Amino acid sequence: MPKKKIITTPAVRVLNARHIDYSLHSYAYEAHGGTAVAARSLGIDERQVIKTLVMEGDPGQYFLVLMHGDRQVSVKSMARSLKIKTVTPCEPEIAQKITGYKVGGISPFGTRKVLTIYLESSIMTLDTIYINAGKRGVLAQLAPNVLVRILAPVMVTAGI
């Protein structure tokens, strides 16, 4: 019988170091499949799959936005909330350099650089969420209050 592969990423190390109650779920990653593929593969509501988006405000001002998988970030709302002119999604190469993770596998836990994190407030109404564990095709299932305890995010209403 083959051994089950143990997944160790910076995100998993953070969760373990903090003694967080979580479980990992794997699925067949598809390029550009997004949260819909993950939700379908795991048989869960796409709203529970939380995407981690790397955004840029002023040049060189990078931050993360955690959003429901079935919703988009309103860059206009984010810019107004941050009192800056524009917010744009980060280029994949820059996102990887800043976080240490490939796009499609970006986790808010264990990023290479410390970034401000904005959390869509409605995520807190869910009982459980699935968020990237630092590798494409691997999600960590945990309670949303864990995000607040570990990440101390700024709560926002940024979805459309």
Tell me whether residue 143 is in a domain.
yes
Domain range enclosing 34? 10-156
Tell me whether residue 61 is in a domain.
yes
Tell me whether residue 5 is in a domain.
no
Tell me whether residue 97 is in a domain.
yes
Structure-token match 């997944």, residue found: 7
Please write down the HEC assignment for all residues of 2-71.
Answer: CCCCCCCCHHHHHHHHCCCCCEEEECCCCCCCHHHHHHHHHCCCHHHEEEEEEEECCCCCEEEEEEECCC
Domain count of the chain?
1
- Kindly report the CATH number assigned to the domain that includes residue 37: 3.90.960.10
Q: Residue 71 is encoded by which pair of tokens?
A: 């919703």
Tell me whether residue 1 is in a domain.
no
Tell me whether residue 2 is in a domain.
no
- Kindly report the pTM of this predicted structure: 0.92
Residues 64 and 108: beta-carbon distance below 8 Å? yes
Q: Which pLDDT value is given to residue 59?
A: 85
pLDDT, one tens digit per residue, over 101-148 is 999 999 999 999 999 999 999 999 999 999 999 999 999 999 999 999
Q: Which residues of the chain have pLDDT under 70?
A: 1-5, 159-160
Amino acid at the residue 141 = Q
Q: Which pLDDT value is given to residue 159?
A: 64
Tell me whether residue 149 is in a domain.
yes
What is the four-CA torsion angle of 106, 111, 8, 53, rounded to 10 degrees? -10
